[in-house]
Amino acid sequence: MSKVYIFDLDDTIVECQVNYFVVLSNFIAKMVDVFGRMSPHPKDIAHKQHEIDVVLMKEPFSKERFPKSLVKTYQYFHREIYGNENYDKKIEEEIFAIGDSVYKVIPKPLPNAIETLAKLKEHGKILCLYTLGDKDVQMYKILNNRLYEIFDPDKIFIRKKKTVEELEEIYNYIRNQYGIVDKSEFTMVGDNLKTDIIPALEFGINAIKVRSRNPFSAIEDEFDYKEVDNISEII
C-alpha cells in the first residue's frame, strides 16, 4: 500500500519566515526614521507588531493581513507618542508597501527539500501540497520553485484556513482516488504546531514537525509527533 505525505509549503519546503524578518527590519528602520529621537526601541516595535499580527491571524487568511499589521503598529505608537490619531496617510501607504513587498520575494527552497520530495515520489509515495494563504501568492512560490514538477495539480490544496475538516477533505479525496483507507498510511509534514500538527493528530493521522526558526513559535507541548530539522530526515 502506498504511503501518503501531505506537505505544508512555507518553512517546510521553501523559506518564508526569513523573508518576513527582512521586511520587518525594513519596517523597524522606517519607524525609527519616522519618530526620530522619540522612536520606541526596535524590540518594542517587533513585539507590538507580533501581538497585533496574532490578533489578525484569527480572521480568515488575507494577503493584506501582514501589511495591515505594520500599519496598525505605526498607528499604535503614534497614539502612544503624540496622544492623537492624526496619522500621516503618506507614511501609512509607505509602510503598507513595505509589508506588501514580502510577497514579491521568490522564496528559496530549504536545503535538500526539492531533492527529498523527488526521491519520495521516485519511491512511489503519494505527495500532496497543503498550504495556507492567498492563492496567487502561494502559486507564485510554487511556480517559481517548479514544484508543479513534484506535485500533481489535483494534489495542490491552497486554503484560507487549516482545520481538521479541511484535512478530512484531502484525506477523502486521496482515499477515493487510490483506495487507501488506513489513516496510518497518511503523514502530515509541517512546521506549525497549530495549523499543521494538531489538526493532523486530532484527525488521527501521523505528524512530523519541522523545527521552526521563528523565535515566537518556540513553545513546549505534550503532543505525540516526530520532530526533524529538515524534511530530508524523512528518507
Q: With cut-offs at 50, 70 and 90, classify the pLDDT of residue 212.
A: confident
CATH number of residue 132's parent domain: 3.40.50.1000
**Among 80, 104, 128, which residue terminates a domain?**
104
**Among 83, 104, 125, which residue terminates a domain?**
104
pLDDT tens digits along 128-171: 999 999 999 999 999 999 999 999 999 999 999 899 999 999 99
Rg of the chain over all Cα atoms, to the nearest angstrom: 20
Q: Is the dihedral of CA 71, 104, 63, 47 positive or negative?
A: negative
pLDDT at 217: 52
191-228 burial, b for 16+ CB within 10 Å, e for fewer?
Answer: bbbebbbbbbbebebbbbbbebbbeeeeeeeeeebeee
- Same domain flag for 8 and 23: no
Whole-angstrom CA distances from 70 to 3, 4, 115, 191 are 42, 39, 36, 24
- Same domain flag for 95 and 117: no
pLDDT at 59: 83
Domain, as residue range, for 87: 17-104
pLDDT over 80 at 218, yes or no: no
- Range name among 86-90, 110-114, 186-190, 222-226 with the lowest pLDDT average: 222-226
- Pairing relationship of beta strands 126-132 and 156-159 according to DSSP bridges: parallel
167 neighbors 130 (Cβ within 8 angstroms): yes
Whole-angstrom CA distances from 152 to 10, 61, 112, 147, 186 are 18, 24, 20, 9, 17
Instruction: Read off the pLDDT of each residue in 55-69 and give the average, rounded to a whole number.
Output: 91
pLDDT over 80 at 49, yes or no: yes
Instruction: Read off the pLDDT of each residue in 221-225 and give the average, rounded to a whole number.
Output: 74
- Same domain flag for 59 and 122: no
Q: For the chain, how many structural domains are there in total?
A: 2
- The SS3 of residue 161 is coil
- Same domain flag for 67 and 154: no
pLDDT tens digits along 8-48: 999 999 999 999 999 999 999 999 999 999 999 999 999 99
pLDDT at 220: 55
Q: With cut-offs at 50, 70 and 90, classify the pLDDT of residue 58.
A: confident
Q: Would you state the cell numbers that stand for residue 116, as one nine-digit string?
A: 527529498
